[in-house]
Each structure stands twice: as structure tokens, then as C-alpha cells.
């Protein structure tokens, strides 16, 4: 048997030949071999009794899985607009020069490859890269030079300076959640004292709404799952945090893991679930060891496992699943598909996960921050929780602040805080644009800085990117459009084709070949994406374009060269090959560039 | 006797660029409805009239994509003269069959056909100035000029063209019903 096949077989056995573990098997096989050779895929398919095409389909779906050899050092530059503003593109060019490789290629000796990847969630300490899947922060020229030397020397990652991998929490403002000490188990004890129903009632009183984006009332979700037929309920923690510019879940997982996991256990207490799954984005795999350690300590303390805190009938434990570079897997039904070892294609809803979720079982999916917040409700009661924030948006919100400000990092505010207040706190000197809620969020112009962070005004999953007068809102929108075109899962045509077309138009404008006609087409595409997409990715993909076209239209108009139409390519240059082949240079061998209609 | 002013007839021009004339054949497939059409339409430049240059028109129908310099000139002439320009058929909309050469290098293609091909002696790439030069790639027409409407199909059926034109001439936004809307 080949080495690759043996490694693959071992991974399958570690996961007890469970087809639902396919993604984890592929991740582990690749970890050992560097990529996924065809023989390994065939072996995995055979052992899991899955069609070969299904295994290949999954391997082909995730950006971090490779079916072709990649460099021994695979270096990916986070390509969010914030990393770019910090100079990531110039650093990438420098590294490519040093390694003798062009972006997207493997160096001739197979030693390294360099490419870009979607936001890695390090906006407060970028520019950031991933080296063989592990985050490296605060890149500068000196660090690039040292990395090039380490790669040339073939130094294994484990021997690289630890400083490279340092990820800071950068907590800048503490509120109810980040400001209080937490004794593991204390929230659980308080909730168990209230009984399962009493606990859910407390959740209802709190008015807690989901922090992952959609803002659904958590108690309603939990109640629906509890009441759904089926005894084998599941609690899922959504730690995919793929929205560009968001990194507050990373900080919670790093510094408040006990609260997050206790929150999952509290959800199990309310719903009767016995199984928990934490879906960790591949970019945060460096947190895996820490999270596993926290789980182990909690098991030893009787806070996980059978008969939690001695309560008979309260059994609950948690597994961690790794994602592999797919933003769409943050969408809860795509996430469930991914947990089941499939491509991350969003499901048709209804049925909703609360009745038909993981493997068809009733499932609660909650964001990391939502779950952490439930520990506050257990400890202080729902009414105390609801006393902060606004009536429709109770409690506090964590913001991930990055961009043109003096103090990037995580800030905790009561809901209802104004954008100008936040800007002042983070030391933004000349803010012109704030992108709230990430690429799919809302673009806020300076005349709107009085608006408030709240579900009823400016909702957000947590990103807060600041742009000053040097920045170009068009380039921000173009960066986000590239992100969506890259991350579209390809399942539905409006999004697959629409995001690609939108990207084409934005690039055409950027290259100085835009015409008024293109703006009309862009607006038409925006409507198409919004109305015809299958999931939230496609329907929010045009948001940055819609907002910037409305609020920063001159940033588009000044790129236009014609009031009517202009081809995206140079017609006369397109005749060059034929001119050369025929040796002609007569007037008919040219096309007048000015005579465009 | 009616005292309303007679509506002037709609002026239509048609042309085939890098296409196979399949779309024009489909146009003729409207059969006897062509006679109805002739009551409201008069033709300007078109293979049907043999008029060589387009004058001011209401509607221009374009078959085929853009593969050479002459296609560009003709297309621009149509755009300048037609109030409404319609891409008819797969080649006009996507480049179609001619665009299959887009993944080949034009230089290699010309070499292969005019110089290296078996049986060719003393070959050479034709360089007569009468011949239009080829573009390095075949483009759908909307990449070269602004286009107002698209009728998909390879070719679109006579029914589809008829439905589209009667809508357009009748002042209704053209909308092909599902059975007439196909891309092959
Ligand atoms: C394209 C897309 C990406 C998403 N990404 C995330 C994510 O990374 N983390 C998250 O918690 N929710 C994400 N969501 C929202 C989830 O679908 C879901 O609403 C959320 O996890 C529910 O948890 P909550 O009620 O606690 O907010 C995403 C939604 C969409 C449409
Ligand atoms: S909208 Fe985009 S991401 Fe969502 S299902 Fe369709 S193709 Fe996939
Ligand atoms: S010319 Fe009509 S379909 Fe190609």
C-alpha cells in the first residue's frame, strides 16, 4: 500500500469510519501529506463507502484543501481591504521576489507557494498571513525577510520564532461580558437551580438576540428546538467568523472559552441536547489545542460528559470540527452540511435547523458571542441583562475595530452607542467612511455618524472598519466584491454568475474603461443578486456596491471615460497579432480608439 | 375613412457578423408572418435588401459575434444608426462557435492554417489590405458596443424572433415566454 493510502486509512479509522467525518478526514490526511493525492481520495471513498465523486467534490470545495501538490511552505496573504491598507500587497510582492515565485504558483523546487486568501480575522494586528494553515501576524519588511530565509533553509514551522505566531487579544473596552471574572460552572449551577423551564424563561426575559448577524431571538430558537420531535437534539457553536473585518469571536475563544463552552452547555440544559459541536474556522486552527484543553478540564470538573454537576439525565459533550476556508460555511445550513462532511452548500429553508438540523436532528446553531452572553443571563438574571442596551437590542455588543484608527481591537459597548462615540474612543482622526458589519454590512458616510449600533438602526455581526480621507470607497467596495465572487459557493446561478459579472464591471471601472452604461448594468446586477440568490451570501454581496453608489457616487463617476459605452479591452491592440502575422500597417489595419459609441 | 395620422413604418436593419446565417434563416422561418411584418416594417441594410450601408433606423438586429476589424466597423455603424440594437443568437450574445478559437493563440492558428498545413507549399498569411484583420479573440457584441436587448438561442426560433419583434414594435417590453426561451 502506498504511503498516502496508509495515512488516509489511518485518518478514516481515527474517525471510526463515519462518513459524516469526511471533511475532518481530508483535513488530517492533508496535514500529513501536504496535499490530497488521488490515491488517498480513492482509499477514503472506499473505506467510507462513499462515491469517489462525493469525496472529490468535497476536496474541491474548500479553499484550504488541495488535490495538487502545493509548496512545502504554503503562504497565504489575508486579502481584506484592511490588510491591504497596511501594505499587504507590497509585502507579498517582496516575499514572492525573495522566493522566486509568482502569486498563485509553486516555486520550481516545490519549496513554497504564495497566494491570497479571504480575511483571516487579524485586522487589528495585520498584515497577516497563514503559513501551512497557521496564523502569522504583524508582517513587515523585516519579518518578510526572515520568513524568506526560514523557507530557504527549510526550517520546520515548529522551529520558527514564537513571536511570529503571537496573536493579541487587544481588548480595549470592557463591559458586562469582558469586564467580569468568571468561575467555570457558576452559570450552569445558577441555571440548573432554576430548572430547565425556569432557565428558558429567564432567557426569554433577557430578550437576547443572536450576535452572528441575523439577530434572531435566542430563547425562541431554543424553545423551538426543545419542542421539536426527536430526542437526539444538538447544539452547534458557529465559530466560523468569516465576515471580513470581524475578529471578536477569536478573542472570545482565546480568552473566554469557558464562557462559550458553558453557553453551549446552558443551551443543552434548555433544549435537552446531548451532543455539542463547535465549528472552528480553519484560519483559527491555532486555537484548537487551547480549546481541547479547556474541554478536558471541564470534563474532569464534571461540567461536561455524563451527569453534569451530578444531575442525572443531564449528559452533554462537545466535539470540535475544523473548517477549511469557506466563508459560506458560516451560514447555518451550509455549516450543518459541512459538519456532515459535505460541500458547504446552503440548504433550502424551511425546514429550519431547529427541527431538521445536523443529520436531520433538531439543532440549535448559535454564534460564539451569543453563547458567551447566556452565562451573564444565568448569573444575573434576564431582567438585569435587559437593563442595558435598547428595548429591541438588549445587552452589549462586541465590536472588532480596525482600519484608520489609533487603537484597533475589541470593544464592548451597550447596544445603542453612536458611531461617532465609537470613532472617538478608537482614536479615528479623520474618519470618512465606516463599514459596519463587514463586507455584507452597511457603508456609513460621515453625515450618518450619529446613527446607533443596534438591530433597529445599524445592525452588525461585529465588524467596524474605519476609513479616513486617504481611502477610496470605490476600492473598498471592489475589494468586497472580489471577496464575494471568490466565496460564492456556486450552487445558484444568480450568485455564481452575478458576483463574477459584478467583479468584471468593478475591474473595468478600476482600469479606467468605465462608461455610464456600466453603472446602469451594475445597478441591474445589484437587484438581481439581492432578489434571486438562494442564500444570504448572494443577497448581501451587492450591499457594498449599492451603498457606495448611493453615498459615494462620484468615486464611481470620476472613473468613467464615456457617457455611453466603452469596451473593457483595447480594440486596436487586439489586431496586433494579425498585423504582425501579415506585416500590414495600412489604415485599415487599425481601429480608431476614439470612434467608440 | 380614418383621420388619424398613419404611423410611419418601423425601419429595421439586420446583419450577420461572425455568425453562420442560422439566425437569419430563423428569421425567414417566420414564414407567412413575414407578410404581416412587412406591413409595419421596412428594411434598411440587410442581407434581404442588399443595401450596403445602414441609414437611421429604429431597430438593428445583429447576428454573430465580433471576430475582425470589419465586424467592428459594421457594428459601430449599426450602433450609430439604430435606436434599439438587439443581439440575436448565441454567437452575438456569447461569441458562440467562432469563439472556440479563443483558447488558441491567433498567431499559431494563422500559421497552422496558411503556412504549416499539409499540402500547403509556399504558404503565407494573406496580407491583402482588402481583407479585414482578425482580432486576437472573438467577442460578444456587448463587449464592443452598448446593446439594448438579447434574444438567446442557437439559433432562436422563428417564433421567438416574431414574438420579440411584435412586442418591441407594439411598445411592450419584450418578454419571451418560457417555451421560447432557450440557450441552445
Ligand atoms: C454567508 C453567511 C455567513 C455567515 N457567517 C456567520 C459566521 O461566520 N458566524 C456566525 O455566527 N454567523 C454567521 N452567519 C449567520 C448564521 O447563518 C446564523 O444566523 C447564526 O450563526 C445564528 O446564530 P445567532 O442566532 O447566535 O446569531 C452567516 C450567515 C450568512 C448568510
Ligand atoms: S447565494 Fe451564492 S453562496 Fe448562496 S447558495 Fe447561491 S451560489 Fe451559494
Ligand atoms: S449565428 Fe445565430 S446562433 Fe450563431
Q: What was the ipTM of the complex prediction?
A: 0.73
Residue B122: pLDDT band with limits 50, 70, 90: confident
Q: Is the pLDDT of residue B57 over 70?
A: yes
* % of chain A exceeding 70 in pLDDT: 99
Q: Is 0.95 surpassed by the pTM of this model?
A: no
Residue A294 pLDDT > 80, yes or no?
yes
Instruction: Domain ranges for chain B, please list them.
Output: 10-100+134-169
Q: What is the mean pLDDT of residues B115-127?
A: 88
Q: Please name the residue whose Cα sits nearest to atom 1 of ligand 2.
A: A538
**pLDDT average, residue stretch A185-211:** 98
Give the distance from residue B84's alpha carbon to the nearest chain A alpha carbon, in angstroms.
13
CATH 1.20.1440.230 for domain A474-562:
yes
Helices (H), chain B: 22-28, 33-40, 69-81, 89-94, 106-111, 158-170
Q: How far apart are CA A284 and CA A32, in angstroms?
A: 19
Which residue's CA lies nearest to atom 4 of ligand 3?
B91
> Which of B70, B116, B135 is the best substitution to test chain A (most A C-beta atoms within 10 A)?
B135
Is the CB of B138 inside 8 Å of chain A's CB atoms? no
Residue A338 CB neighbour total at 10 angstroms:
28
The closest alpha carbon to A577, from B73, B122, B129, B110, belongs to B110
Which residue among A515, A571, A582 places its CB closest to the CB of B72? A571
Q: List chain A residues with CB under 8 Å of B72.
A: 571, 591
CB atoms B135 and A579 under 8 Å: no
Whether residues A578 and B139 touch (CB distance < 8 A) is answered with no
d(CA A338, CA A324): 10
For the Cβ of B22 lying below 6 angstroms from any atom of ligand 3, the answer is yes
Q: Residue A109: pLDDT above 70?
A: yes
Distances (CA, A) of B69 to A502, A564, B134: 28, 21, 6
B110 and A578 within 8 Å at the Cβ level: the answer is yes
A420-465 pLDDT, tens per residue?
A: 999 999 999 999 999 999 999 999 999 999 999 999 999 999 999 9
Which among A517, A574, A596 is the nearest to B135, CB-wise? A574
pLDDT band of residue A597 (cuts 50, 70, 90) is very low
Give the closest-approach CA distance of A57 to chain B in angstroms: 26
Architecture of the structural domain at A398-471:
Roll (3.10)
Instruction: Tell me: pLDDT of A486 over 70.
Output: yes
**In chain B, which residues have their Cβ closer than 8 Å to the Cβ of A591?**
69, 72
Q: Please state the rounded mean pLDDT for residues B133-162.
A: 96
Q: Domain A73-167, CATH 3.40.30.10 — does that match?
A: yes
Domain boundaries, chain A: 3-61, 73-167, 173-386, 398-471, 474-562
Query: Are the C-beta atoms of residues A212 and A367 closer than 8 Å to each other?
Result: yes
Same fold, A73-167 and A398-471: no
For a substitution probing ligand 1, which of A206, A208, A214 has the most ligand atoms within 8 Å of its CB? A214
How buried is residue B122: exposed, middle or buried, by Cβ count under 10 Å (0-12/13-18/19+)?
Answer: exposed
Predicted confidence at residue A22, as pLDDT, reads: 98
Class of A173-386 per CATH?
alpha beta
* Lowest mean pLDDT across A106-110, A184-188, A472-476: A106-110
pLDDT computed for residue A592 by the predictor: 81
Q: What is the pLDDT of residue A2?
A: 65
Fold (CATH) for B10-100+134-169:
Rossmann fold (3.40.50)
Q: How many helices (H) and strands (E) does chain A have?
A: 23, 16
pLDDT in tens, B58-107: 999 999 999 999 999 999 999 999 989 999 999 999 999 999 999 999 99
Does any CB of chain B come closer than 8 Å to the CB of residue A288? no
pLDDT at A412 over 60: yes
Is A563 at the interface with chain B, CB within 8 A?
no
Is A534 near ligand 2, meaning CB less than 6 Å away? Answer: yes
B127 neighbourhood in chain A, CB within 8 Å: 582-584
Of A101-110, A153-162, A299-308, B117-126, the range with the lowest mean pLDDT is: B117-126
Look at ligand 3, atom 1, and give the residue with the nearest C-alpha: B19
* pLDDT value for A594: 60
Distance of CA A470 to the CA centre of its chain: 27
Residue B121 has pLDDT above 90, yes or no: no
Amino acid at each position: 500500500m502506498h504511503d498516502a493510502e496508509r495515512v488516509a486509512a489511518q485518518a478514516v479509522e481515527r474517525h471510526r469510519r463515519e462518513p459524516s467525518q469526511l471533511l475532518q478526514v481530508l483535513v488530517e490526511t492533508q496535514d500529513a501529506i501536504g496535499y490530497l493525492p488521488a490515491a488517498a481520495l480513492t482509499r477514503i471513498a472506499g473505506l467510507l463507502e462513499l462515491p469517489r465523486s462525493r469525496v472529490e467534490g468535497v476536496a474541491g470545495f474548500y479553499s484550504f484543501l488541495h488535490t495538487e501538490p502545493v509548496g512545502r511552505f504554503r503562504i497565504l496573504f489575508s486579502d481584506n481591504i484592511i490588510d491591504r491598507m497596511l501594505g499587504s500587497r507590497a509585502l507579498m510582492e517582496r516575499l514572492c521576489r525573495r522566493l522566486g515565485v509568482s502569486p498563485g504558483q509553486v516555486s520550481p523546487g516545490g519549496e513554497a507557494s504564495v497566494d491570497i486568501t479571504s480575511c483571516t480575522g487579524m485586522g487589528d494586528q495585520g498584515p497577516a498571513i497563514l503559513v501551512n494553515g497557521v496564523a502569522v501576524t504583524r508582517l513587515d519588511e523585516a519579518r518578510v525577510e526572515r520568513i524568506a530565509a526560514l523557507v530557504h533553509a527549510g526550517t520546520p514551522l515548529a522551529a520558527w520564532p514564537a513571536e511570529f505566531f503571537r496573536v493579541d487579544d487587544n481588548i480595549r473596552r470592557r463591559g458586562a461580558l469582558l469586564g467580569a471574572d468568571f468561575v467555570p460552572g457558576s452559570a450552569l449551577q445558577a441555571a440548573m437551580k432554576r430548572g430547565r423551564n425556569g432557565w428558558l424563561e429567564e432567557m426569554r426575559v433577557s430578550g437576547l438576540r443572536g450576535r452572528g448577524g441575523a439577530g434572531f431571538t435566542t430563547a425562541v430558537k431554543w424553545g423551538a428546538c426543545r419542542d421539536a420531535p426527536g430526542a437526539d437534539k444538538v447544539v452547534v457553536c458557529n465559530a466560523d467568523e468569516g465576515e471580513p473585518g470581524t475578529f471578536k469571536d477569536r478573542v472570545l475563544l482565546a480568552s473566554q472559552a469557558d464562557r462559550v463552552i458553558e453557553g453551549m452547555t446552558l443551551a443543552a440544559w434548555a433544549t435537552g441536547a446531548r451532543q455539542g459541536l463547535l465549528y472552528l474556522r480553519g484560519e483559527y486552527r491555532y486555537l484548537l489545542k487551547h480549546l481541547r484543553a479547556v474541554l478536558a478540564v471541564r470534563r474532569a470538573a464534571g461540567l461536561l460528559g455524563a451527569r453534569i454537576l451530578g444531575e442525572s439525565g443531564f449528559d452533554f459533550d462537545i466535539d470540535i470540527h475544523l473548517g477549511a476556508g469557506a466563508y459560506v460555511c458560516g451560514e447555518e445550513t451550509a455549516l450543518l452540511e459541512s459538519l456532515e462532511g459535505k460541500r458547504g452548500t446552503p440548504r433550502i429553508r424551511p425546514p429550519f435547523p431547529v427541527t431538521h438540523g445536523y443529520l436531520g436532528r433538531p439543532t440549535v446553531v448559535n454564534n460564539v458571542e451569543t453563547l458567551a452572553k447566556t452565562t451573564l443571563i444565568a448569573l444575573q438574571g434576564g431582567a438585569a441583562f435587559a437593563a442595558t442596551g435598547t428595548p429591541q437590542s438588549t445587552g452589549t455588543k462586541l465590536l472588532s475595530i480596525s482600519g484608520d484608527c489609533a487603537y484597533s481591537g475589541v470593544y464592548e459597548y451597550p447596544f445603542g452607542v453612536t458611531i461617532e462615540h465609537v470613532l472617538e474612543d478608537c482614536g479615528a482622526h479623520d474618519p470618512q467612511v465606516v463599514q459596519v458589519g463587514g463586507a455584507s454590512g452597511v457603508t456609513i458616510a460621515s453625515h450618518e455618524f450619529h446613527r446607533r449600533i443596534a438591530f433597529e438602526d445599524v445592525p452588525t455581526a461585529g465588524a467596524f472598519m474605519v476609513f479616513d480621507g486617504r481611502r477610496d470607497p470605490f476600492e473598498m467596495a471592489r475589494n468586497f466584491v472580489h471577496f464575494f465572487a471568490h466565496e460564492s459557493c456556486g450552487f445558484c446561478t444568480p450568485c455564481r454568475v452575478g458576483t463574477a459579472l459584478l467583479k468584471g464591471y468593478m475591474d473595468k471601472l478600476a482600469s479606467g474603461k468605465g462608461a455610464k452604461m456600466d453603472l446602469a448594468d451594475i445597478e441591474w446586477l445589484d437587484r438581481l443578486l439581492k432578489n434571486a440568490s438562494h442564500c444570504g451570501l448572494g443577497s448581501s454581496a451587492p450591499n457594498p456596491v449599492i451603498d457606495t453608489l448611493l453615498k459615494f457616487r462620484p468615486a464611481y463617476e470620476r472613473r468613467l471615460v464615456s457617457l455611453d459605452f466603452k469596451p473593457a479591452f483595447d480594440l486596436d491592440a487586439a489586431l496586433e497579432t494579425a498585423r504582425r502575422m501579415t506585416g500590414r500597417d495600412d489604415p485599415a489595419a487599425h481601429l480608431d480608439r476614439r470612434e467608440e459609441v | 375613412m380614418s383621420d388619424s395620422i398613419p404611423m410611419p413604418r418601423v425601419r429595421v436593419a439586420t446583419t450577420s457578423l461572425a455568425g453562420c446565417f442560422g439566425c437569419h434563416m430563423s428569421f425567414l422561418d417566420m414564414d407567412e408572418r413575414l407578410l404581416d411584418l412587412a406591413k409595419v416594417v421596412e428594411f434598411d441594410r440587410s442581407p434581404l435588401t442588399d443595401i450596403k450601408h445602414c441609414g437611421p433606423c429604429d431597430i438593428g438586429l445583429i447576428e454573430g459575434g465580433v471576430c475582425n476589424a470589419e465586424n467592428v466597423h459594421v457594428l459601430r455603424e449599426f450602433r450609430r444608426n439604430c435606436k434599439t440594437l438587439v443581439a440575436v443568437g448565441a454567437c452575438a450574445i456569447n461569441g458562440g462557435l467562432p469563439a472556440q478559437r479563443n483558447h488558441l493563440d491567433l498567431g499559431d492558428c494563422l500559421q497552422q492554417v496558411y503556412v504549416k498545413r499539409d499540402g500547403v507549399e509556399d504558404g503565407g498569411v494573406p496580407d491583402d489590405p482588402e481583407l479585414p484583420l482578425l482580432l486576437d479573440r472573438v467577442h460578444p457584441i456587448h463587449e464592443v458596443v452598448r446593446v439594448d436587448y438579447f434574444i438567446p438561442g442557437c439559433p432562436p426560433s422563428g417564433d421567438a424572433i416574431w414574438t420579440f419583434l411584435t412586442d418591441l414594435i407594439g411598445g411592450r417590453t419584450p418578454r419571451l415566454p418560457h417555451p421560447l426561451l432557450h440557450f441552445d
